[in-house]
Amino acid sequence: QKEVEQDPGPLSVPEGAIVSLNCTYSNSAFQYFMWYRQYSRKGPELLMYTYSSGNKEDGRFTAQVDKSSKYISLFIRDSQPSDSATYLCAIQAGNQFYFGTGTSLTVIP
Amino acid sequence: GAGVSQTPSNKVTEKGKYVELRCDPISGHTALYWYRQSLGQGPEFLIYFQGTGAADDSGLPNDRFFAVRPEGSVSTLKIQRTERGDSAVYLCASSISGSRRETQYFGPGTRLLVL
């Protein structure tokens, strides 16, 4: 079983929609969770970092962690065409980072 | 300031050849990470440096892969006897000290194609 699983999509939504991206993880000991955005032919860029259950909000982005279900989510409100990218969830365990496969998102104007 | 840079941006080589990939981290960052990202996959951890030493090399797939960071800044990932399965994007990232909750800053990657 992989440490983190993510639906690869692709996901296509109209501009202004609310987007929900999700991952599940295998080890209940994991404590540090991240969401990255990766544009084509670029390196990943950190969007959100959270280390506890509950919600963390930053502008149009909300990261949610449910440790009881081992489920992490990223919500994007009022999605924009510039949000079109691949979104990767990641978990930090010691010195290592485990990434999901990424979900490809397209926001249609 | 300057971000993480990687050279070359693209590398095409033949099966069996040796390649070196270079990473210039953000100045002052002591922690440096190498990842491999295959098509349609997330980055896969290879090795982590703290200063000059490899603090965790458990992600290196086999002994054909080796990485160095002799002066605690620039790092080189070396692949011997390349195989077609080594074709991927090799990403480098750095952070200030490698502590938890620190942001990792990624470079644009080197796209390696082994023919």
pLDDT of residue A44: 96
Over residues A94-106, the mean pLDDT reads 91
pLDDT given at position B1: 56
| Per-residue pLDDT, B2 | 82
Q: Which residues of A touch B42 (CB under 8 A)?
A: 6, 88, 90, 99-102
What is the pLDDT at residue A54? 85
- Whether B33 and A100 lie within 8 Å, measured CB to CB: no
pLDDT tens profile A1-47: 788 999 888 999 999 999 999 999 998 888 899 999 999 999 999 99
Report CB contact under 8 Å: B42, A88. yes
Residue A70 belongs to domain spanning? 4-108
Other beta carbons within 10 Å of A2: 13
Q: What is the mean pLDDT of each run of 10 residues along chain B (115 residues)?
A: 91 98 96 95 94 91 96 96 97 89 91 97
**What is the CATH topology of the domain spanning B5-99+106-114?**
Immunoglobulin-like (2.60.40)
Give domain limits for chain B: 5-99+106-114
- What's the whole-number mean pLDDT along residues A71-98? 93
Q: Measure the CA dihedral A92/A106/A55/A59, to 10°.
A: 110
Stretch A94-105: mean pLDDT, rounded?
Answer: 90
Q: In this complex, do A43 and B106 lie within 8 Å of one another by their Cβ atoms?
A: yes
B84: phi then psi, degrees, rounded to nearest 5: -60, -30
Specify the number of domains making up chain A: 1
Average pLDDT over residues A55-60: 93
Distance from CA of A56 to the nearest CA of B (A): 14
Q: Judge whether A97 is closer than 8 Å to chain B, CB to CB.
A: yes
pLDDT at position B79 is: 98
Q: What is the CATH number of the domain that holds A78?
A: 2.60.40.10
Size of interface A-B (CB pairs under 8 A): 56
- Average pLDDT over chain A reads 92
Contact B89, B77 (CB under 8 A): no
Three-state SS at A81 = helix
C-beta atoms of B43 and A97 within 8 A:
yes
User: Smallest Cα–Cα separation from B26: which of B101, B95, B103, B110?
Assistant: B95
Cβ–Cβ under 8 Å, residues B114 and B14: yes
